[in-house]
Amino acid sequence: MLQSLFPQCGQTQTLESTYLALNLHQQAVKGDVLIYANYITSLDGRIALFDDALGELAVPKSIANGRDWRLYQELAGQADVMLTSARYFRQLAEDKAQDLLPVGSGDKYADIKLWRERQGLKAQPDVMVLSNTLDIPLAALEKVSDRQVIVLTSSQDEAKVEALERAGVQVLQTGEVTGSFIRQTLIDLQYRSAYMIAGPQVHSTLMQAKAVDELFLTTHFTFLGGTKVSGLVDVDLPQAQHMKLLSAYLDTEEQQLFQRFRYVG
C-alpha cells in the first residue's frame, strides 16, 4: 500500500492506478502539450552508476524495482509519444537497455493496455529520439517498428538521414535541438502528452528552455555512493530551477517516495 503524505496526509491506497488516474493525456490546453519526465534516484541523487559489466552508465539494480516500474508503465500508458535519446537506442541494439516498453505487455500491465484502448489512444505511444550524431542502429529501430518514430537532429549528414528515412523514420533537422524546438515540434505534430524517459542531457536541454512541465521522481531510500555516476542534470543552468510539490506518497513496501513536481519560475 501507499501512504499519502501530500496534499492529503495519512490516507492509504493501492499502488495500482495511482498515476493512471491523473489523465495526463488530457491536461494540456488546446494547442499545447504536457511534457513530463520520470526518474528513479537514490538518496544521494544518483540515477545511474557506471556498470563494469556493461562498460557504461546504467540504472543501478539496487534501486530499480517492480513497484516503481508499475508507475513507469502507468506514466507511459498516458503518453502520446515517448521522448528518448539516441544513446538509449544504441544501448537497446546491444541489449544493454530495458526494452522501449511496449506498454501493457504481460498480465500485470494488461489493465494499462486496456485503459489506453478505452481512452482512444494508439496501442503504443510514438517515439521521438534526440541525436546530434544520428548514430542510431537500424536494428534497434526494428524493436519499435509498430510505432511512428521521429528523430530530431542537428546533423546535416544526408546519407544517415536517408538511411533512417528508408527505415520509415521521420527525420527533422535543425541548427540546434533546443528545448523550445522539441516542444514546438511536439505541438506541431499535435501530440498532447509527451513522456521524457531519457537521461540528464535531454532533461537539461528541456530545462534550459523551460520546456518541461512536470517531474515524477521516485526517491529510493538508499545511498549508492560512487564516483562514475550520473544525476538528473549535468550542465550549468542559467538559474536555479524551483519546483512545486504536487503530490507525495510513501511506499512502505519498498522504502521509497513517489513525488510529483511542477517546474516553476
Binding site for ligand NAP (CB under 6 A): 39-40, 47-48, 57-59, 85-88, 130-133, 135, 154, 177, 197-202, 205, 230
Whose grid coordinates read 527525420? Answer: 171
Min dist. Cβ of residue 6 to ligand NAP (A): 21
User: In the complex with ligand NAP, which residue's Cβ is closer, 38 or 78?
Assistant: 38
User: In the complex with ligand NAP, which residue's Cβ is closer, 13 or 221?
Assistant: 221
Q: What is the rounded distance in angstroms from the CA atom of residue 17 to the CA atom of residue 51? A: 33
Return the C-alpha torsion angle 229, 261, 71, 48, nearest 10.
0
User: In the complex with ligand NAP, which residue's Cβ is closer, 42 or 124?
Assistant: 42
Task: Yes or no: say if 85 and 129 are a contact pair by the CB < 8 Å rule.
Answer: yes
- Closest listed residue to residue 263, CA positions, set 166, 196, 198: 196
Min dist. Cβ of residue 180 to ligand NAP (A): 11
Min dist. Cβ of residue 114 to ligand NAP (A): 26
Min dist. Cβ of residue 77 to ligand NAP (A): 17
Min dist. Cβ of residue 131 to ligand NAP (A): 4
Q: What is the rounded distance in angstroms from the CA atom of residue 169 to the CA atom of residue 149? A: 5
User: In the complex with ligand NAP, which residue's Cβ is closer, 39 or 263?
Assistant: 39
User: In the complex with ligand NAP, which residue's Cβ is closer, 117 or 135?
Assistant: 135
Q: What is the rounded distance in angstroms from the CA atom of residue 28 to the CA atom of residue 249? A: 24
Cβ contacts of residue 53 below 8 Å, gap of 6+?
none
